[in-house]
């Protein structure tokens, strides 16, 4: 069984998060961080909305399919 790389190596803990944040600040600069966070938040919001829309459409399609199959099983007459 293959284990995904992030879980095989373990998740960052303790001081590792400090170093990760420090590298991000050095790469993007303190002035760009709020803009970066906003864009990530917008992206996550857009993804969440798309996921909800997809789930709603799938549920509607399943319900319609079940209604059609139920109506075809009942005898007419």
Each residue's pLDDT expressed in tens, for the chain with a length of 77 residues: 566 665 566 777 788 888 888 898 888 888 888 898 899 999 999 999 999 999 999 999 999 888 888 777 666 55
What burial class does residue 37 get, using C-beta atoms within 10 Å of its C-beta: 0-12 exposed, 13-18 middle, 19+ buried? exposed
Is residue 48 situated within a structural domain? Answer: yes
Is residue 44 situated within a structural domain? Answer: yes
Is residue 51 situated within a structural domain? Answer: yes
Is residue 72 situated within a structural domain? Answer: no
Is residue 37 situated within a structural domain? Answer: yes
Q: Which residues of 16-28 are buried (b: 16+ CB within 10 A; e: fewer)?
A: eeeeeeeeeeeee
**How many domains in the chain?**
1
Question: Can you tell me the distance from the alpha carbon of 18 to that of 33, in angstroms, rounded to the nearest whole number?
Answer: 15
Question: Can you tell me the distance from the alpha carbon of 52 to that of 46, in angstroms, rounded to the nearest whole number?
Answer: 10
Q: Which domain holds residue 48?
A: 30-67
- SS3 assignment, position 55: helix
Is residue 17 situated within a structural domain? Answer: no
Is residue 21 situated within a structural domain? Answer: no
């Amino acid at each position: 069984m293959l284990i995904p790389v992030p879980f095989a190596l373990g998740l960052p803990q303790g001081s590792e998060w400090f170093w990760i944040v420090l590298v991000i600040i050095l790469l993007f600069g303190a002035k760009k961080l709020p803009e970066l966070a906003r864009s990530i938040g917008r992206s996550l919001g857009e993804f969440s909305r798309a996921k909800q829309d997809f789930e709603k459409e799938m549920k509607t399609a399943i319900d319609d399919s079940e209604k059609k199959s139920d109506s075809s099983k009942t005898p007419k007459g």
